[in-house]
Amino acid sequence: MTVNVSIDVPSLDAGLAFYQVVFGFEEVARPFATMAVLNAGNVSMCIHGKAEGTESSPTKGETRRYARHWTPVHLDFHVERLMPMVQKIKEAGGQIEQLLLDMGPRPVAFCADPFGNGFCVIAKSQ
């Protein structure tokens, strides 16, 4: 089995710019004009350009919104060094919501991309 991650963003170009610059993803396919497939190491990710206000699910009656939102599912990116990654996230328009350097076995940053999607960045060691 393989697992792929899909992320909706309001602008495909902006989504690509963020995830390529910050995490080093490389575009490997463009199956549709509004979708790009990215790879980085052992992770495949699809970025979908979907306009704000469009229907997110035919069964829920909800529309897409890109303000910061909570979801019980998020990504954890494990990195060698936390602080250089925190700086990249900020420079690319992401938010650092909480930075825990001394609580727990490894430093962690709770973050959001410019499109409201939450994620964590966790250092591999102290």
Give the Cα separation of 111 and 108 in Å (integer). 10
Whether 1-51 and 67-126 share one fold: the answer is: yes
Q: What are phi and psi of 59, to 5 degrees?
A: -100, -15
Integer CA distances (angstroms), 94 to 23, 66, 68, 72, 77, in order: 12, 13, 11, 19, 14
Longest distance between any two alpha carbons in the chain, whole Å:
45
Give helix 82-91 / helix 12-23 axis angle, nearest 10°. 160
Q: Which CATH class is domain 67-126?
A: alpha beta
How high is the pLDDT of residue 126? 64
- Give the number of other Cβ atoms within 10 Å of residue 119's Cβ: 18
CATH topology assigned to domain 1-51? 2,3-Dihydroxybiphenyl 1,2-Dioxygenase; domain 1 (3.10.180)
Q: How far apart are CA 63 and CA 72, in angstroms?
A: 18
Across 51-103, the runs of DSSP E, i.e. the strands, are 75-79, 95-100
pLDDT tens digits along 62-111:
888 889 988 888 999 999 999 999 999 999 999 999 999 987 789 999 99
Whole-structure pTM value = 0.90
Residue ranges of domains in the chain? 1-51, 67-126
Dump pLDDT digits (tens) for 21-74.
999 999 999 999 999 999 998 899 999 999 988 888 888 778 888 899 888 889
Q: H helices of the chain, where?
A: 12-23, 82-91
